[in-house]
Amino acid sequence: MEFSIKSGNLEKRRGACLVLGVFESRTPAPASWAVGQDARRALAEVLASGDMNGRAGSTLMLRKPHALGSERLLLVGLGKEREFGDQAYATAIRTAVKAIRDSGAADAALLLTRIPVKKRSAAWRIRQAVIIASETMYRFDRFKSKKEDKRPLDDLLLAVDDKIGETAAAQALAQGLAIGEGVALAKTLGNLPSNVCTPAYLAEAARQLMEEHQLGGQVIEHAEMEKLGMHALLSVAKGSRQAPKLIVAHYRGGKSGDKPIVLVGKGVTFDSGGISLKPGEGLDEMKFDMCGAASVLGTLKAAARLQLPLNLTVIAPCVENMPGGMASKPGDIVTSLSGQSIEILNTDAEGRLILCDALSYAERFKPQAVIDVATLTGACVVALGHVASGLFANNDELAGALLDAGDTAAVDRAWRLPLWDDYQEQLKSNFADLANIGGRPAGSITAACFLSRFAGKFAWAHLDVAGTARKSGADKGATGRPVPLLTHFLLARAGKLR
Ligand code: BES
Ligand code: MN
Ligand code: ZN
């Protein structure tokens, strides 16, 4: 789908569907007036009829209403004007795009992007609209022999305020497009089944990305991991026929001396639990256990597309966690790259085992900050549901910046949980330096505590996206989170957010 932006009058550029917003109590949104007299009259008529009450999420699609010269008029309910904030705006855009898509209109003009949103700039509204529209139009039908109806909507015009200026509007549009692409990449990698999306497949996807954007990097193979001493990572791969891969990719948009931001993503292409085998219910969803890796690749793509003036390194340990004659067993002890020994009390706590070696590996890049992303614990889903990602950090400034980024990304928020030393007790092992599980209480926190033992040498944050990287039920699928959060974080660091 193509996007364009337009300030000033929209009388001549409405496409096949003109979209206007209506607040509750039947007040047309203030931005509705730059559309020509015929549209104003049509709108007044509909509102007088009482057919559109303006409730949030409601729509009314009219074909050639009486006074209107265009083919369609779509009215979108916005809810109460006083409460029109981030979430209401996101809902309005999503609702509008769905209704246009289902109508069969090939192009449309969206006036909603001109409605003021509390505490947000005009650039924010454009960026957000593009992200949400791209997401709403996303389809994954690679394995359907009958594709769903072709996508009719291929041109969306966004109305922008006259005062924002063309460069700022174009920049916001470009940022929205890049984030939309990063999200789409993360979703597709996540949605692919584990018999296709193996560690080797992820490595190949990373190679393609590196080539496309002329990035440096490499894929570290099994033999090299052994030489390095990554026995925690290797212990997870042992039960599988799929060889482990460690993706390392560098985007260098900053000065050569600028310390990189390092993103680390968990890439378990299928998590059976290993010898500590998981129960069968919902087990198919463990193909999503590589969504951390997918999201850091998606973020890398967005950063490269935008040529952000910073240095970014992405590390993704990719493995399949399977039972088998060679698999790790409860009670096994391995030595991690850091030198610390780990007693594997549960082979299903595998994410932290691959991440700990990736974190130690990150040290060599002298990072200004390391952020890992992982579908790490079921306990995080219990704590925060599917709304917020769990955030942990050993650095308050970094934590604050990530929370802000999630807030600005609006539909990708995180919530901080404690990482106090009190919890470290739970990781004591009778036989090794630490155990890989901490018992039932505070499962997400003890998982983060485990990782913190390998992140002592840099500013570090951990995002547990077990509840947010995918949806279950009728909407089952990867969400692409936290690509928007991470990209907003990078945009802020680069001074590119308006
Ligand atoms: N990949 C899972 C976490 C997960 C669970 C993600 C549900 C998405 C939905 C992780 O590897 C895991 O199995 N964690 C265990 C840890 C436990 C053994 C300490 C868990 O959460 O049960
Ligand atoms: Mn597991
Ligand atoms: Zn897992």
Per-residue pLDDT tens digits for 9-62: 888 888 899 999 999 988 888 777 778 888 888 899 899 999 999 999 999 999
CATH number at residue 480: 3.40.630.10
pLDDT at 10: 85
Q: How confident is the model at residue 190 (pLDDT cuts 50, 70, 90)?
A: very high
Q: Are residues 200 and 109 in the same domain?
A: no
Largest Cα–Cα separation, the chain:
81
Tokens at 350, concatenated: 């595998």
Nearest ligand by distance to the CA of 443: 1
Domain for residue 207, yes or no?
yes
Q: Which atom, in ligand 1's list, is nearest to the CA of 436?
A: 19
Q: Are residues 252 and 363 in the same domain?
A: yes
CA distance 363 to 455: 8
Domain for residue 407, yes or no?
yes
CA distance 320 to 325: 15
Q: How confident is the model at residue 304 (pLDDT cuts 50, 70, 90)?
A: very high
CA distance 71 to 16: 5
Domain for residue 366, yes or no?
yes
pLDDT at 193: 98
Angle between helices 291-306 and 199-212 (to 10 degrees): 0
Q: Which residue has a Cα nearest atom 14 of ligand 1?
A: 377
Domain for residue 171, yes or no?
no
Within 6 Å (CB) of ligand 1, which residues are found?
271, 289, 346, 348-351, 375-379, 381, 437, 443, 466
* φ and ψ at residue 313, rounded to 5 degrees: -120, 135
**From ligand 3's centre to the CA of 376, what distance in Å?**
6
Domain for residue 202, yes or no?
yes
Instruction: Name the residue of 286, 318, 348 whose CB sits within 8 Å of the most ligand 1 atoms, as the mutation to test its pocket.
Output: 348
pLDDT at 95: 98
Q: Are residues 202 and 146 in the same domain?
A: no
Pairing of strands 245-252, 107-110: unpaired
User: Catalytic: which of 278, 416, 457, 496?
Assistant: 278
Q: Residues of the chain with pLDDT > 70: what percent?
A: 99
- CA distances 129 to 140, 160, 438, Å, are 21, 11, 42
pLDDT at 328: 98
pLDDT at 144: 95
Q: Which residue has a Cα nearest atom 22 of ligand 1?
A: 378
Mean pLDDT of the chain: 96
Q: Are residues 146 and 250 in the same domain?
A: no
The domain in which residue 147 lies consists of 2-161
Q: Which atom, in ligand 1's list, is nearest to the CA of 271?
A: 1
CATH number at residue 39: 3.40.220.10
Q: Are residues 67 and 150 in the same domain?
A: yes
pLDDT at 450: 99
Q: Are residues 378 and 485 in the same domain?
A: yes
Q: Are residues 290 and 341 in the same domain?
A: yes
Q: Are residues 202 and 119 in the same domain?
A: no
* Number of domains within the chain: 2
Nearest ligand by distance to the CA of 466: 1
pLDDT at 109: 95
**From ligand 2's centre to the CA of 349, what distance in Å?**
5
Average pLDDT of the residues in 138-149: 90
For the entire predicted model, the pTM comes to 0.97
pLDDT at 151: 66
Q: Are residues 113 and 189 in the same domain?
A: no
Q: Flag whether pLDDT at 124 surpasses 80.
A: yes
Q: Are residues 148 and 196 in the same domain?
A: no
- pLDDT tens track for 68-118: 878 999 999 999 999 999 999 999 999 999 999 999 899 999 999 999 999
User: Catalytic: which of 72, 238, 301, 352?
Assistant: 352
Q: Which residue has a Cα nearest atom 8 of ligand 1?
A: 466
**From ligand 1's centre to the CA of 207, what distance in Å?**
29
Least confident of 117-131, 153-167, 403-417, 461-475: 153-167
Q: Which residue has a Cα nearest atom 13 of ligand 1?
A: 348
Q: Which residue has a Cα nearest atom 3 of ligand 1?
A: 377
CA distance 364 to 260: 11
**From ligand 2's centre to the CA of 425, what distance in Å?**
22
Domain for residue 73, yes or no?
yes
Q: Which atom, in ligand 1's list, is nearest to the CA of 446?
A: 19
Q: Does the annotation mark 305 as catalytic?
A: no
Domain for residue 322, yes or no?
yes
pLDDT at 432: 98
Nearest ligand by distance to the CA of 437: 1
Q: Are residues 148 and 221 in the same domain?
A: no
- pLDDT tens track for 277-297: 999 999 999 999 999 999 999
pLDDT at 30: 79
- pLDDT tens track for 194-237: 999 999 999 999 999 999 999 999 999 999 999 999 999 999 99
Q: Flag whether pLDDT at 427 surpasses 70.
A: yes
Angle between helices 483-493 and 396-408 (to 10 degrees): 110
Q: Are residues 387 and 441 in the same domain?
A: yes
- Residues in Cβ contact with 96 at an 8 Å cutoff, skipping those fewer than 6 apart: 19, 59, 74, 76, 110, 112
> Which of 161, 194, 213 is the C-terminal boundary of a domain?
161
CA distance 182 to 358: 22
Q: Does the annotation mark 14 as catalytic?
A: no
Q: Which atom, in ligand 1's list, is nearest to the CA of 469?
A: 8
Q: Which residue has a Cα nearest atom 17 of ligand 1?
A: 349
Q: Flag whether pLDDT at 8 surpasses 90.
A: no
Domain for residue 167, yes or no?
no
Chain position carrying tokens 């015009």: 157
**From ligand 3's centre to the CA of 270, what distance in Å?**
8
Average pLDDT of the residues in 161-173: 92
